[in-house]
Structure 1
Amino acid sequence: MTADAKPPTSARRADLLAASVAYVAEHGLAELSLRPLAQAIGSSPRVLLYLFGSKEGLIREILAVGRVEQLALVERADDHPGTARETLDLLWSRLVVPERRGALRLFFDGYVRSFDAPDGPWSDFAGKSLDDWLPPLDRVLADHPVPSTLVLAVLRGLLLDHLAADTPRHHERVQTAWTSFLDHALPH
């Protein structure tokens, strides 16, 4: 089996991938080592290597799960029958819930790492993310002059700010900034 080849999907593999995603969402990718990860999720480095081909293969799949989750939120908001403003506000509210904090951290960790790792497991993560997010935002904003790139930039910038300071005062400040942006970009 090659380094990134993987055996067929199994329930055990799916469970270990889900546990790995949760672990990385809590601990980040910066110092990811297979031994502590395996111990924390009830496995062994050998099993992880067998199931995912390599550490890079596992990271690639962890990031793919994060992308799928993010895209599902974007698409669910896009399917919302409300106005563009209501749809964007719904997306925002789903992204900033406390339960999504780890997923946001994982997303931005992979996004930033993709800039410095042209051949690593996250090499095309940022570009694919743009390809994922911009079409649904284009659809939401089809009848409005505000560019989807601007909305995405503000959304992601404020999400970073939301992650940076985890206090009610800062969350209120970031929420106020998001509402102010919507007031200017998509007035009632």
Structure 2
Amino acid sequence: MSTPANAPSRPSPRRPSPRREDLLAATVRYVAEHNVSDLSLRPLAAEIGSSPRVLLYLFGSKEGLVREVLAVGRTEQLALLERSAAQGGSARETLELLWEWLTDPEHRGALRLFFEGYVRAFGRSEPWLDFGTASLEEWLPPLGRVLEGTGANATVVLAVLRGLLLDLLAGEGGAHAERVHTAWRDFLDVTLG
């Protein structure tokens, strides 16, 4: 008996195994360099040393795999925020460390993935559904703790941070990058002194 075309995809079995974790990590690296919206299992599998069949078995569906890739990205961002808070000291020092990491050219792929997921969430379809809302709900509490006692508004700081990061991604280095970095420093001067 065949499955109807509109039936929900099989949920991911979420089997904890070293192979599954290795393939997820390889997929995260792959989508950081490619457009996740157009992710196709066959080229992905060939690139990461697997097969579409194995990926479907381990992650339930292509959408399940994309959901897990997005979750890894959000988890990494939150861990970064927490590390910056632990190492930074003042709110300004924490935000400077966060900015430094996020704007490192090595992390450009991770930023692209984040913004792609965020924008795709507006379509309210799987696997992007609730990505934007979850990101806000995850970022605002720890950012609020970082800013506690400063009088700064976490929503405003997060909006400026993301807006400038998006602007940075839109241009190419040189004067463009310096303009964005200067804008961030100016914002911190006005907001946190």
- Given that 2:88 and 2:97 are in contact with CA atoms closer than 8 Å, whether structure 1 keeps it comes out as no
Q: Does 1:170 align with 2:179?
A: no
Moved runs in structure 1, 4+ residues, more than 6 A? none
Give 1:34 deviation, angstroms.
0.6
- Given that 2:32 and 2:112 are in contact with CA atoms closer than 8 Å, whether structure 1 keeps it comes out as yes
Any idea what the Cα deviations from partners look like across 1:66-123, whole Å, max 9, x if unmatched?
011111111111223521111111111111111111111111111111111x240120
Deviates more, 1:155-164 or 1:6-15: 6-15
Q: Aligned Cα RMSD in Å?
A: 1.2
SS of residue paired to 2:10: coil
Q: What is the aligned-residue identity percentage?
A: 63
Q: Does 1:71 align with 2:78?
A: yes
Partner of 1:150: 156
Q: Does 1:137 align with 2:147?
A: no
1:157–1:7: structure 2 CA closer, same or farther, 3 Å change rule? Answer: closer
1:67–1:7: structure 2 CA closer, same or farther, 3 Å change rule? Answer: closer
- Given that 1:7 and 1:50 are in contact with CA atoms closer than 8 Å, whether structure 2 keeps it comes out as no
Question: What is the rounded CA distance, in whole Å, between the counterparts of 2:28 and 2:133 in structure 1?
Answer: 21
Question: What is the rounded CA distance, in whole Å, between the counterparts of 2:87 and 2:14 in structure 1?
Answer: 38
Partner of 1:14: 21
Partner of 2:37: 30
Q: What's the TM-score, normalizing by structure 1? A: 0.94
Amino acid at match of 1:169: A
Q: Size of the alignment, in residue pairs?
A: 185
Q: What's the TM-score, normalizing by structure 2? A: 0.92
1:80–1:22: structure 2 CA closer, same or farther, 3 Å change rule? Answer: same
List alignment gaps of at least 5 residues for structure 2. Answer: 1-8
Amino acid at match of 2:116: D
List alignment gaps of at least 5 residues for structure 1. Answer: none
**Equivalent residue runs for 1:22-171 within 5 Å:** 22-116=29-123, 118-171=124-177
Give 1:28 deviation, angstroms.
1.8
Question: What is the rounded CA distance, in whole Å, between the counterparts of 1:64 and 1:54 in structure 2?
Answer: 15
Give 1:153 deviation, angstroms.
0.3
Question: What is the rounded CA distance, in whole Å, between the counterparts of 1:62 and 1:119 in structure 2?
Answer: 16
1:11–1:160: structure 2 CA closer, same or farther, 3 Å change rule? Answer: same
SS of residue paired to 1:166: coil
SS of residue paired to 1:80: helix
Give 1:160 deviation, angstroms.
0.4
Any idea what the Cα deviations from partners look like across 1:27-79, whole Å, max 9, x if unmatched?
02121111111111111111110110000000000001001111111111122
